[in-house]
Amino acid sequence: MKNLLFKKLYLMSDLEQAAFQTTFDPKMTIILGGNSTGKSSLIKSLYWILGADPARVHESWPNLKVTGLLEFQVDGKTFFMFRHGSIFALFDDARILKESMQRVTSQLAPYLAKLLGINLVLPDRKGIPTTPTPAFFFLPFYVDQDVGWERPWQSFSGLKQFAGYHRSIVSYHSGILPDEWFVRRAELQQMAAEKGGLQSQATVVERSALALRQSVTHDALSIDQEAYEAAILRLLAELKKLREKRAKFAAALSDAIAQRTLLNDQFEVGRRALKELENDRQWLVERGDEPIPCPTCGTIHENNFAMRFGIIEDREACVAVLNELVDQMIEVKTQVEAAHLNLRTVDEQIAAAQQVLTIKQGEITLAQVIASEGQRQALSVFDQQAAEIEAKTGDLTTRIDSVKKLIRKLENKTRKQKIEAFFAKEITANMNLLDVKNVNLDKAQKIHHVIKDTGSVHPRAVLSYILSFVSTCFEHTTAITAPVILDSPLQQDQDPVNAKRIFSTIEARRPANAQFIVGSVSLNGYEMSGKRIDLTNERKLLQPNLYSEVSAFIDGFRSQMI
């Protein structure tokens, strides 16, 4: 596990002839500024320089054509990252250029992942194992004021490159799945792709051989009796092997069809349950606020928003299960189709082999013998290719089985339970400190749960989750730990009491070795320890009087790139 620490930030606009610079405390930095003072632009720039673009930026900021330089440390070693537009450059502690990059996905992401010791690999929308963009490296550590408090895990842009990334990111950063698990899964995906390619090659070779065997001359028409008998024996052996293969494919088809039937039955049960939940919700809506008597015990239940919202949550859970079943049904459908294709192919091969065996050693012409010999040599090449492909496939299968065993070993249930229990304890304590009430605690204690509360309690619930997850990362992760940036936690008009709760909880629950950067309009009278940056110039984060100094410093880096 490596630790990332921010030291100093430089921002400059040659267009505006203005600049900004500041340092950061290794423990706590508070950035205070009213609306339009550039507070959020400053905060958004930090991970932006490292290639993680914020979900939203003020429309005027891109027009400034800002150049950014971030001095940071990785496990105590200093580096500088330069960014201007889509150009990135990394410099060492001696300010010597190490690498210049222009593509985030193919260049910056792998390079930065290596520097930070990140082995996270996710399948893209085509199923190809890919090192994700830097946004996924820092996603748990940044809450953007425009998006993050409303929709957790959405503070960066460009996240749609990977479907269903949330569970993988949570498992990776929390340590539930160690760093090595993702390395091994990438190996497994790569080997599976190679095996698929070999199987495609094998199909081409088999079909080519089949087409050759179905031509006018046949392998049985060998030049001499000995070769003829050898061909017959080889064909008999091949026929036996094909029949064994067919039995295996037939069994696979039977299993896939049985699984498809089971999934169809489960989907039908879920569909009926979803319909019943929708009927229940509609029935409650039609009754308005009229209380509902229990037909069994006579207890009167309130027909309120909470009850209807509970049904909606159950409905969403039901929809999630149905979606998962649909994914499984699609996968099983693919298995059934593949099994059907395998059966057809092997049946064609069996028919071809049987056809060859029906040829008699009657009178043949010299031309037939010559043609047959050429065919025999061609089939020998096909047989050699098929044998090589089979050997490679067998080797890959062995390696795949070995990696699968290692992956199962890395999916340590005891470790998972320990981390989940740690998180549950943390979020329970944080919710108490932040006075988060009337939430489903059982759901909130699930580390993969996404907060969906409403009103002023929602940002405090999100903060409870973020602080708990960060604590879990610093305690258990095998991945990177990074500066925690909380931009404007005073959301939804928090009253003075809750405002104090928010800042005091942030200060009290910060892990001892974590760097926090908190931005806010004010602290509402709370005295928070740490470095304080006050922004007072309206609409002017970048200052003309700093341009000469900052531009001269940045030019020392930029000149090396030129």
Instruction: Read off the pLDDT band of 546 (50, 70, 90).
Output: very high
Q: Please give the CATH topology (third level) of the domain spanning 187-394.
A: Helix Hairpins (1.10.287)
d(CA 31, CA 39): 7
| Mean pLDDT, range 385-414, rounded to an integer | 90
B/e letters for 358-369, b = 16+ CB within 10 Å, e = fewer, are ebeeeeeeeeee
pLDDT of 463: 94
| Mean pLDDT, range 529-549, rounded to an integer | 91
- Whether pLDDT at 327 is above 80: no
- 543: β partners: 19
DSSP H or E run through 89: strand 87-91
d(CA 112, CA 50): 8
pLDDT of 36: 80
Instruction: Read off the pLDDT band of 366 (50, 70, 90).
Output: very low
With a pLDDT cut of 90, the percent of the chain lying above it is: 43
- Whether pLDDT at 218 is above 60: no
Which residues have C-beta within 8 Å of that of residue 491, sequence separation ≥ 6?
145, 149, 456, 458, 459
More confident residue, 403 or 241: 403
CATH 3.40.50.300 for the 4-177+413-561 domain, yes or no? yes
Backbone angles phi, psi at 160, to 5 degrees: -75, 0
| Mean pLDDT, range 202-223, rounded to an integer | 64
pLDDT of 126: 76
- Whether pLDDT at 363 is above 50: no
- Using one digit for the tens of pLDDT, what is the confidence trace for 285-302? 666 666 666 655 555 656
| Mean pLDDT, range 409-433, rounded to an integer | 94
Global confidence as pTM: 0.69
Lowest mean pLDDT among 19-23, 203-207, 431-435: 203-207
Kindly report the number of other CB atoms within 10 A of residue 405's CB atom: 11
Backbone angles phi, psi at 72, to 5 degrees: -145, 165
Lowest mean pLDDT among 115-119, 217-221, 329-333, 496-500: 217-221
In three-state secondary structure terms, 143 is strand
pLDDT of 220: 44
Lowest mean pLDDT among 85-94, 121-130, 440-449: 121-130
- Whether pLDDT at 518 is above 90: yes
Q: At what angle do helices 179-213 and 305-357 cross, to 10 degrees?
A: 30
User: What tokens were used for 482?
Assistant: 């990074």
DSSP string, 289-335: T--EE-TTT--EE---HHHHHHHHHHHHHHHHHHHHHHHHHHHHHHH
Q: Write the CA distances from 253 to 269, 327, 339, 477, integer angstroms.
A: 25, 19, 5, 42
Taking a C-beta distance cutoff of 8 angstroms, is the pair 248, 342 a contact?
A: no
d(CA 71, CA 439): 41
β-strand pairing of 129-130 with 122-123: antiparallel
- Whether pLDDT at 365 is above 50: no
| Mean pLDDT, range 434-461, rounded to an integer | 83
More confident residue, 141 or 200: 141
pLDDT of 351: 78
Q: What are the residue boundaries of the structural domains of the chain, listed by start?
A: 4-177+413-561, 187-394
pLDDT of 213: 66
- Whether pLDDT at 361 is above 50: no
- Using one digit for the tens of pLDDT, what is the confidence trace for 221-235? 444 556 656 666 676
pLDDT of 248: 84
Instruction: Read off the pLDDT band of 28 (50, 70, 90).
Output: very high
Mean pLDDT of the chain: 84
- Whether pLDDT at 532 is above 80: yes
With a pLDDT cut of 70, the percent of the chain lying above it is: 83
pLDDT of 493: 77
- Using one digit for the tens of pLDDT, what is the confidence trace for 49-77? 999 999 988 878 888 999 999 999 999 99
pLDDT of 52: 96
pLDDT of 353: 67
Backbone angles phi, psi at 289, to 5 degrees: -100, 15
